[in-house]
Chains A and B, each alone.
Chain A
Amino acid sequence: MRDESVTTNRAANHPKADLLSAFAEKALAGAERAQIVDHLAGCARCREIVFLTQQAAPAAEPDAASLPLPAPARGLRKFPWLPVAASGLAVCLLVGSFVWFRSLGHFNNSGASRTETAAVQPVPQSAPEPAPQPTSNSQAETAPHEASRPAPSEAPRSGARKAPPSAPKAHPAAALHGSIAQGQALPAMEVGATNSTDQLQAELTYRRRAEDKGAIPTAGAISPVNGLFEQSSASAPVAAAPASPSHTFVSVSAQATVTGNVTQAAGAAPSRGTVSASLHGAWPVILLLPGGHTAVSSTRIPGRILALDAEGALFASDDMGRNWRAISLPWTGKAVAFTRLAPEESANAATAELAFRKSKAQHLSDSIEIRLASGEHWISHDRGESWTAIPNPIPPPN
């Protein structure tokens, strides 16, 4: 069979990105690898690509399926199991995505406008059905595993001219343990920290036991599992995740307990497997506003998120994005972006405009400015409830 994917030392036929990245990840072997090496030996372009690909990779993150599993705890009953519905073979995993969009200046949501999910609704729990009783051989004993704080990613290796913003790493924590029968709920996982706000993405995978796989090797048996996450502690709110991958979620949690359960697709035969979980921190998220729009600009003040949609409507949420309410707008025209005032800006009374701001500012950290498409600027000192036009807006400092 003629191979069209790899060539030797010919400038016109470089290996595709798929093969170059596979080489960088050491996923090639034998004749395929030899062909790539032969090409790289004579092609500076492709060598540059491979080394840049390698350098841009985050530091090795532990694979969820290979994480060390915590010691089993006695009895599953001590954990806040959720009722589960079980019926079928292939379990479906929902990646519970707790997402939070920060108003980072260099991010915009235009690419995210394809998301059409409406505001998050609490997920109704389905009526539980009898779950298969675990056998004594497979009594899954798990213990909640506390999540560790994400560490910043490594600075780029030689070759990059400037350190990029650090990227968060996956939590290697919250690994679950042991065999879990279909229909069993997942043990609780402690996530986040009390002194910070984390953006969390919980991901669960379910792998069937080797003896259940038949002809399918381990890699082929990993499958997603539908999970249902609910707040199970009073420490912080966690947005509930609908049991469908078509929804995305908005949540900010300081510290929360995440639980999930394993459901089976209808008609599937019972199976057993292990469940592993990993938590990823600080991903940028998509704010979903009423009407199905995503936020084009947002800002966060203590206890509140303010967001603008593409139409210029202003919304506020006091429950970390779980619910939104529209705020009446005193201006005509379209609001396009937030600008947060720095305390020192408000305190500088060099000009009348700044003095105006200072005189009105009661809580400097709660002062928010909005810029309209017309160039007008409006300011609020009461967390976005009421707004006042700024006659001559001060240009933002460089």
Chain B
Amino acid sequence: MEPAETSEVHANAEFPAELEHPLAELWQSSSATAFGIAKEEFARLLFAVGERYGFGQPSAKPNTKPDAQEQIAFLCQLHIEDLVLAHACALGVEAAWEQFLVRYREPLYHAAYSIAGSDTAGRELADSLYAELFGLRERDGQRQSPLASYHGRGSLAGWLRATLAQRHVDRYRRQRRETPLEEEPEPVAASNPEAEFAGAASAQPAALEKAVRLALAELAAEDRLLIAAYYFDGRTVRELGMLLGVHASTISRRLERLYALVRKRILRELRAEGLSRRQAEEMMQSDVRDVAENLGLPLKKILQFPPSGAFQSGEAISAGGGRGDAR
């Protein structure tokens, strides 16, 4: 689990004077007073969150950092009520915990059931987080609660779901790594996620591997995300559409376009290596098992899956060798 001290923001940041009035207004309109959070503490908490995230501009250079208007605009986008509630809970305010219990106890358990896929595992997952949320862990005499690492970027309910998902995934991956070798069904690729697109070079066919790697690397990040989620993870176009906020048909068209584009680029790279078009196409149709293993890719499906109607059904393409998490 992520150490809490690297995620917390501490409400002791000093904020510019021009933000004092807007922050005071935000404080007045929030429930901070109900939880006994003073105006100054509230203001410093918000400002600390803003500083942590660069007020929404993480790549801003020091001499172009956001001005006061941009800063306050960022702070207004935070889920302030959720942030106040989480902060009050982390401080151990009883009234905050009462509200938290009423609002989030059942949704937390229901989310855990959904994530874990069973009542038993879900209950165990929820119980472990639930106990930690109360700050039962202590460090240096201070009660530690994961709620201190919630910063209001998304909703508190969403943060709870993501935290549950994080724990579930990490536990699942730990269990897989601990599986004895003789139980492994087949060889797996490197567990380093970077290997998904840039695996170790193989003696053969090196040209195809290089071509695939270069072709995929040229894609925009969102396109690479689509290919990874669709081919590796087996996500449906509907799920991808929900993730990116577009219609499933948009995802379908985009995947078709990407399929054609990737094939075209791989052909280009192979021909740049000196192969004729026919040789390049034959190579793409050949047994690509070794390359697939090195790259951790369901390469056969990427190279050979027919484009027409491939993405219309909304069904996922199952990654070769099970879930394509590049292990």
Residue numbers of A with Cβ under 8 A of B are 1, 3-6, 9-11, 16-32, 34-35, 37-38, 40-45, 47-58, 89-90, 92-93, 95, 97, 99, 106-107, 111-112, 114-117, 153, 156-162, 164-165, 167, 201, 208, 214-217, 219-224, 245-248, 265, 283-286
Distance in angstroms from A174 CB to nearest chain B CB is: 17
Contacts of A44 in B (CB 8 A): 193, 196, 228, 232-233, 324-326
The 8 Å CB contact of A165, one of B113, B164, B229, B233, is B113
* Residues of B70-113 contacting chain A, CB below 8 A: 72-73, 76-77, 80-81, 94-95, 97-99, 101-103, 105-107, 109-113
Give the Cβ gap from B39 to chain A, nearest Cβ, in Å. 12
**Is the Cβ of B153 less than 8 Å from the Cβ of A19?**
yes
- Which of A40, A99, A247 neighbours the largest number of chain B CB atoms within 10 Å of its CB? A40
Partner of A34, one of B22, B109, B170, B221: B221
User: Which of B118-126, B247-255, B276-284, B298-306 is found at the contact surface with chain A?
Assistant: B118-126
Q: Given that A115-B101, A216-B76, A223-B29 are contacting pairs, would A51 and B239 also be in contact in the complex, using a CB cutoff of 8 Å?
A: yes
Residues 1-59 (chain B) with a chain A CB within 8 angstroms:
2, 6-7, 21-22, 25-26, 28-31, 33-34, 51-54, 56-59
Cβ-defined contact, B102 with A283, below 8 A: yes
Chain A residue contacts of B194, Cβ below 8 A: 9-11, 42
Determine the chain A residues whose CB is within 8 A of the CB of B170 once the complex forms: 45
Q: Is B141 an interface residue when CB atoms closer than 8 A count as contact?
A: no
Interface membership of B274, Cβ < 8 A: no
Residue on B nearest A49 in the bound complex, by CB: B165
- Contacts A1-B54, A3-B59, A9-B194 hold; do A216 and B162 have CB atoms under 8 A apart? no
Instruction: Report Cα–Cα, A201/B104, bound state, in Å.
Output: 12
How far is it, in angstroms, between the C-alpha of A367 and the C-alpha of B157 when the chains are bound?
40
Rounded to whole angstroms, the CA-CA distance of A9 and B29 in the bound complex is 40
CB pair B162–A49 under 8 Å, yes or no, is: yes
B165 touches A37 (CB 8 A): no
In the complex the two chains form, is A47's CB within 8 Å of B7's CB? no
A343 to chain B, nearest CB (A): 25
**Residues on B with beta carbons closer than 8 Å to the beta carbon of A97:** 102
Overall SS of chain B's interface: helix
B140 to chain A, nearest CB (A): 22
CA–CA, A222 and B173, complex, Å: 42
Cα(A221)–Cα(B28), bound, Å: 9
Q: What are 19 A-B pairs with beta-carbon distances under 8 A?
A: A1-B65, A3-B58, A4-B6, A9-B194, A21-B154, A32-B53, A37-B221, A38-B221, A44-B196, A48-B325, A57-B111, A57-B158, A97-B102, A112-B105, A156-B114, A158-B239, A167-B106, A214-B25, A285-B102
Contacts of A223 in B (CB 8 A): 28-31
Please determine whether B149 and A201 come into contact, CB atoms closer than 8 angstroms.
Answer: no
**Alpha-carbon gap, A18 to B324, bound state (A):** 25
Cβ of A90 and Cβ of B76 under 8 Å apart? no
> Which B residues fall within an 8 A CB radius of A?
2, 6-7, 21-22, 25-26, 28-31, 33-34, 51-54, 56-60, 62, 65, 72-73, 76-77, 80-81, 94-95, 97-99, 101-103, 105-107, 109-115, 117-119, 122-123, 130-131, 134, 149-155, 157-159, 161-166, 168-170, 173, 192-194, 196-197, 221-222, 224-225, 228-229, 232-233, 235-236, 239, 242-243, 245, 316, 324-326
Hey, which chain B residues are within 8 Å of A245, CB to CB? 31, 34, 95, 98-99
Measured between beta carbons, the chain A residues less than 8 angstroms from B73 are 217
With contacts A27-B153, A164-B113 taken as known, whether A41 is within 8 angstroms of B107 at the C-beta atoms is no
Q: With both chains docked as a complex, state the minimum distance between the C-beta of A207 and any C-beta of chain B, in angstroms.
A: 9
When the two chains form their complex, are residues B162 and A31 in contact, meaning their CB atoms are under 8 A apart? no
CA distance A44 to B7 in the complex (A): 22
In the bound assembly, the distance between CA atoms of A30 and B57 in angstroms comes to 8
Task: Select one of A3, A20, A35 contacting B162, CB under 8 A.
Answer: A20
Q: Contact at B94–A246, with CB atoms within 8 Å?
A: yes
A28 touching B153 by the CB < 8 A rule?
Answer: yes
Please, how many angstroms separate the alpha-carbon atoms of A32 and B173 in the complex?
27
Closest to B120 in A: A106
Chain A residues lying within 8 Å of B112, measured Cβ to Cβ, are 56
